[in-house]
Amino acid sequence: MTTQITTETRLPPEQWIDRLSPADALVLMLDSQAGAIDAVRAALPQIEASVEALYQRLSTVRTARLIYCGAGTSARIAVQDGAELLPTFNWPQARIGYIIAGGMGALITAVEGAEDSEDEARQAVISTAINADDCIIGLAASGKTRFTCAALEAAKDAGALTIGISNNPDTGLLECAAYPVVLNTGAEALAGSTRLKAGTAQKICLNLISTQLMARLGYVKDGLMTHMIPANEKLRRRKQEIEAMLAENSR
């Protein structure tokens, strides 16, 4: 019987990075990271279905929110994606939300045991007032993080649209999501350290989802960030350049 390779699988001794020369270890890690692209490519049909579902929900109700959920590295990647929606697309801050194991402070300092608290997850869904208008994206490399699974279950019970992104197949997170996305990245160069290839795949996946979603919602025209917020001198110049290009394209 073939053992399934997961994010926890250990590489053979000849690939242990502490036994390799620095140059060989770096090559091994780089080649491993490249596998994230293949994992995301294989999931493109699931990603497309997720984007379309998000578009239908968020374009129908003007107060509907996009909420990110996760623990540890997955939470940090999720927040990075969400935080960039306001400056890049002028997506309303009131329509972005986060459910993070251990609270927002856990993004900087690890909160031990927070990812195991199902009660905290359910309470967070209640306090965030998630309802049938909202959409929630839950990320967990293992696909079995109890906090994230419980949050998605509670959000689903509240009527929200649920998307689950896991780097392992056949997991609880995928089972409880209406739209599962499997980023099957397999073994890491450092066994179990999912901030590596799994994290890269998650970042790419969220980049694709949020950017295509914003394009579908009308925040992109002619491949340009037409709704960006010009908050500094560099961005004010960019905004002027974008407006000039749009004017030229309309002639």
Q: Catalytic amino acids? A: 84, 115
Cα distances (angstroms) measured from residue 73 to each of 42, 49, 117, 141, 192: 22, 25, 17, 9, 12
Of 183, 180, 179, the residue nearest 168 (C-alpha) = 183
Neighbouring CB atoms inside 10 A of 228's CB total: 17
Token pair of 170, please? 């056949």
Distance CA 181, CA 49 (A): 9
- In 84-207 the beta strands, taken as DSSP E runs, fall at 96-100, 135-140, 161-166, 179-182
CA angle (195 as vertex; 8, 178 as ends), nearest 5: 75
Residues 6+ apart with CB under 8 A from 60: none
